Amino acid sequence: MIELYYGPGACSFVPHAALETIKAATGEDFVPRMLKLHKGEQRAPEYLALNPNGQVPTLVVDGKPLTQIVAICDYLDRRYPQVGLLPAESWARAQAMSQLAWMNNTVHTTFTHFFKPENFAEGEAVHAELKRFAAALYRTQLERIQGWVSSADPYWFGRRPAIHDFYALTLLRWSGFAGIDPDSLPVYKAYVDRVAAHPAVAAAMAREGIKLATFRKA
Ligand SMILES: N[C@@H](CCC(=O)N[C@@H](CS)C(=O)NCC(=O)O)C(=O)O
C-alpha cells in the first residue's frame, strides 16, 4: 500500500500529481493523507515519527516512510518505469536529476526564505529584507525555468507529463504569493496552463482544492 502525506498547495503536490499520473496510467491507487500545515499537524509526534523534519511530503510504502521529493520521485519512477515520470536513458536522466535537484534545493529554498523568513533570522526588519531579496532572486530563477520550458512540447520531456512539470507548476503557482505576476512570464504561464489541464494533474489540484491563480495586484 502507498500512502502520501501532503499539505494543500505545498511542494507535496509534486509526488501527489505523480501518484495521480501513475493511477491514470496503471490503475495503481494510493491513499492520500492530508495534513493542515497552518495548524501545525506536521509537528504532531506521530507524524514526526515518520518524518523527523516535520515537513511534507512523506511517502509511506507498506508502512515504511520515505522523505525528500527527489528520493520519492526517483522511487516512484523506478517502481513504475512505464509511466515515464523521468527520462530512462542514463545521460538524459542525469540531466533531469540535476534540474530536479536545483528546483528542490535552490528555487524551492529561495521561496522558503520569502514565505518563512522566521526560519532563517530574527527581527522584523531582517524578515522584510529577506522577503524582498528572496522575491527578486526567485524571479530570476523562474526566468531560467521559463527558458527551459520554452521548448516543452507539450510537456517538459515531451508527450507525457513528468515530475518536472509538477514542480514547475508548483513553483509558478507560488510566485503569485511573492508578488510576481505570472503574466510577466507568459511562456512559462502558457506551459503551466497546459500542465494543469492534464486530467491527472487536475485531479490532484481538485483534491487539494487549489487554483493556479494566486497573484493579487497590490
Ligand atoms: N527538501 C524537502 C522540502 C520539504 C518542504 O519544504 N516542505 C514544506 C512545504 S513546501 C513543509 O512541509 N513545511 C512545513 C513546515 O516547515 O512547517 C523535500 O524535498 O521534501
DSSP letter string over 14-49?
A: HHHHHHHHHHHHH----EEEE--GGGTGGGSHHHHH
* pLDDT recorded at residue 137: 98
- Per-residue pLDDT tens, the chain, 218 aa: give them: 999 999 999 999 999 999 999 999 999 999 999 999 999 999 999 999 999 999 999 999 999 999 999 999 999 999 999 999 999 999 999 999 999 999 999 999 999 999 999 999 999 999 999 999 999 999 999 999 999 999 999 999 999 999 999 999 999 999 999 999 999 999 999 999 999 999 999 999 999 999 999 999 87
| Single-letter code of the amino acid located at 14 | V
* Atom nearest to 108 CA in ligand 1: 6
**Buried-exposed string 111-136: b where 16+ CB fall within 10 A, e elsewhere:** bebbeebeeeeeeeeebeebbeebbe
* Atom nearest to 56 CA in ligand 1: 12
Extents of the domains making up the chain: 2-83, 90-198
What would be the CATH architecture of the domain defined by 2-83? 3-Layer(aba) Sandwich (3.40)
Q: 57 alpha carbon to ligand 1 midpoint, in Å?
A: 7
Q: Whose CA is nearest to atom 12 of ligand 1?
A: 55
Q: 48 alpha carbon to ligand 1 midpoint, in Å?
A: 13
* pLDDT recorded at residue 182: 96
Q: Whose CA is nearest to atom 1 of ligand 1?
A: 68
Cβ of 32 less than 6 Å from ligand 1: no
Of 37, 55, 208, the residue with max ligand 1 atoms within 8 A of its CB, to mutate for a pocket test, comes to 55
* pLDDT recorded at residue 207: 98
* pLDDT recorded at residue 159: 96
Nearest-10 crossing angle of helices 163-175, 90-102? 20
Cis-peptide into 81, omega within 30 deg = no
Nearest-10 crossing angle of helices 124-149, 108-115? 150
* pLDDT recorded at residue 217: 84
Contact 187, 149 (CB under 8 A): yes
CATH of domain 90-198: 1.20.1050.10
Cβ of 35 less than 6 Å from ligand 1: no
Residue 174: closest CA among 7, 27, 19: 7
Q: What is the distance between the terminal CA atoms of the chain, rounded to a whole angstrom? A: 46
* Atom nearest to 112 CA in ligand 1: 6
Cβ of 76 less than 6 Å from ligand 1: no
| Single-letter code of the amino acid located at 205 | M
* pLDDT recorded at residue 218: 76
